[in-house]
Structure 1
């Protein structure tokens, strides 16, 4: 058993692809046409960290309820955790790409951590050694 995908609701799938691929270094695993349950056109977009593992389904918000959830999928708390082997190079890459960090890196018992926002406004921890 493994967790394969987590849905991240976004306003703009192209912006989200650029953020996760260009700024974070994820791989675009899928980008194909699909349809909603009621037959409307949509895109199925999946990004994954390099080397595989659980991915993110970048789903365009559909309707007022989903639009209201963009950037607040976890109620304003950190809800996503990106673990990297080498914190400093990834942090530098993300800063150079314009990623917004909410704090300076801090050292905890489990490693170095800093909170950042994704392109939709969700809070993430960047964690590493």
Structure 2
């Protein structure tokens, strides 16, 4: 399945409800042709009186690969975990730090998902439509 904006938006709404208790506003959704990453969550930030404010959240999903639907959904959820952490202003030790990994583990256990930190090129074959 090749990602489309409408599919990503519908999946975002579904998983926002199922996993994140509808706490995330829909970000800007973009498609990319990136071959080096399946997804990306980006935002802007500014510092006011020593407080960091995050805004202008964007989730981009690559259309370079024809992924299995479950694999695409796991990529979307992966980016939603990043979004949740940034939107809530939670500080993590790194992009895929302890908090990210803890949330990922909870999502995988409670919701039967297979979200991972990264996908190695050799494992990508298992995620792609035959």
TM-score scaled by length of structure 1: 0.30
Identify, as 1 or 2, the structure richer in helix.
2
TM-score scaled by length of structure 2: 0.30
Identify, as 1 or 2, the structure richer in strand.
1
